[in-house]
Amino acid sequence: MARTIVRTLLAPAAAAILVAGAGACSFSFGSSHSVSKSDVANQISTKMTDAAGNKPSSVTCPNDLDAKVGAQLNCSMQVKDQSYGVNVTVTSVNGNDVKFDMVEMVDKGKVAEQISAKMTDAAGNKPDTVTCPSDLLAKVGTQLICETQVSGTTNHVNVTVTSVNGSDVKFDMVETVDKSQIAEQISAKMTDAAGNKPDAVTCPSDLPGKVGAQLNCDMKVKGTSYTMNVTVTSVNGSGVFFDIAETVDKNQIASKVSDKLTQQVGRKPDSVTCPENLKGVEGATLRCELTDGNQRYGVNLTVTGVDAGTVDFNIQVDDQPS
């Protein structure tokens, strides 16, 4: 395991914005397998208001809504000369009955304004410019990555909705550590068991500068691929500390568990499955599942030691089937 620090630009912040809120609707369609854009607009006009309770003066939707679970449509709602985006998402389809949620979106310009107003670097400097690619859906857990420019340096800010209470939307704003910086740290500090440095490291996305945030990167050494887990352990001012640890593939773990249990009880279980890779850090745990005939048992794994790429772990099978 390697521990490292990367200096970020902006201190984290939180913000709250008032929006129109959310609604739900059920609608029956004919033979077209879609809800017409005018019917969707009528439902928004009927069910949605701004934060003060004012009804829309007009609603426009760009096209019809497919009668398919997960289908989405972004409409525009005008209330007292103020424009709001409304996201419409189909939640269920039962015959000709279509249910869909309607959730207002926080305008990307307002999100950018909050970043500009509340985030600074370690010296107290505010961003020169902030751009967000789209509006922010007013739904807990929704995320948006915005871009900031400070003194010619480009950085990214992760915006995450933390709560929605009526028309009050709260969201955290945390700068991310660029994925290329993470890859550089892995290249500089990690080796395989023989001490060989990585030939290449790729990370799928930036790492939010928030304690507990994780990222799995791919490291290649002499033709062999390794999955490296990066976990933020602390954030101190503009410094982000994170641990880097190799993980053991979940299929390899399942095979080892099956082999060890076969040695212990004298017969092989029908199957062992693990939901994710096992982190190569002493004390790390993982819960897998064992199938024996018609019964299933939980299996707890605990890493007891890591030595030159070898990960040792204990296996504890539940006494009773689940």
Q: 3-state SS of the chain?
A: CEEEEEECCCCCEEEEEECCCEEEEEEECCCCCEECHHHHHHHHHHHCCCCCCCCCCEEECCCCEECCCCCEEEEEEEECCEEEEEEEEEEEEECCEEEEEEEEEECHHHHHHHHHHHCCCCCCCCCCEEECCCCEECCCCCEEEEEEEECCEEEEEEEEEEEEECCEEEEEEEEEECHHHHHHHHHHHCCCCCCCCCCEEECCCCEECCCCCEEEEEEEECCEEEEEEEEEEEEECCEEEEEEEEEECHHHHHHHHHHHHHHHHCCCCCEEECCCCEECCCCCEEEEEEEECCEEEEEEEEEEEEECCEEEEEEEECCCCC
Q: Structural domain of residue 155, as residue ranges?
A: 107-177
Domain boundary among 214, 231, 248: 248
C-alpha 163/C-alpha 119 separation (Å) is: 20
pLDDT at 62: 95
Lowest mean pLDDT among 85-99, 195-209, 230-244: 230-244
pLDDT at 31: 53
pLDDT exceeds cutoff 60 at 84:
yes
Q: Are residues 268 and 307 in the same domain?
A: yes
Q: Are residues 205 and 262 in the same domain?
A: no
Paired residues of 273 in beta bridges: 289
Q: Are residues 206 and 238 in the same domain?
A: yes
pLDDT exceeds cutoff 90 at 291:
yes
Q: Are residues 231 and 263 in the same domain?
A: no
**pLDDT digits 0-9 by tens, 103-160:** 888 889 999 999 999 887 767 778 899 999 999 988 899 999 999 988 887 888 889 9
In-domain check, residue 293 = yes
pLDDT at 33: 82
C-alpha 157/C-alpha 175 separation (Å) is: 4
Structure tokens at 96: 């000709």
pLDDT at 203: 96
Residue 104: phi and psi, rounded to 5, are -70, 150
pLDDT exceeds cutoff 70 at 299:
yes
pLDDT at 322: 85
In-domain check, residue 14 = no
Lowest mean pLDDT among 12-21, 99-108, 210-219: 12-21
Structure tokens at 143: 């995320």
pLDDT at 251: 92
Q: Are residues 25 and 101 in the same domain?
A: yes
Domain boundary among 209, 226, 248: 248
In-domain check, residue 207 = yes
pLDDT at 28: 62
Q: How far is CA 41 from CA 30, 38, 45, 76, 308, in A?
A: 17, 5, 6, 9, 62
Lowest mean pLDDT among 57-71, 96-110, 165-179: 165-179
In-domain check, residue 158 = yes
Q: Number of structural domains, the chain? A: 4
In-domain check, residue 50 = yes
Q: Are residues 117 and 142 in the same domain?
A: yes
pLDDT exceeds cutoff 90 at 306:
no
Paired residues of 310 in beta bridges: 307
Domain boundary among 194, 215, 248: 248
In-domain check, residue 273 = yes
In-domain check, residue 3 = no
Residue 114: phi and psi, rounded to 5, are -65, -40
CB atoms within 10 A of CB 261: 19
Structure tokens at 45: 């006009």
Q: Are residues 26 and 101 in the same domain?
A: yes
Q: Are residues 208 and 260 in the same domain?
A: no
In-domain check, residue 13 = no
pLDDT exceeds cutoff 70 at 6:
no
pTM of the predicted model, to two decimals?
0.64
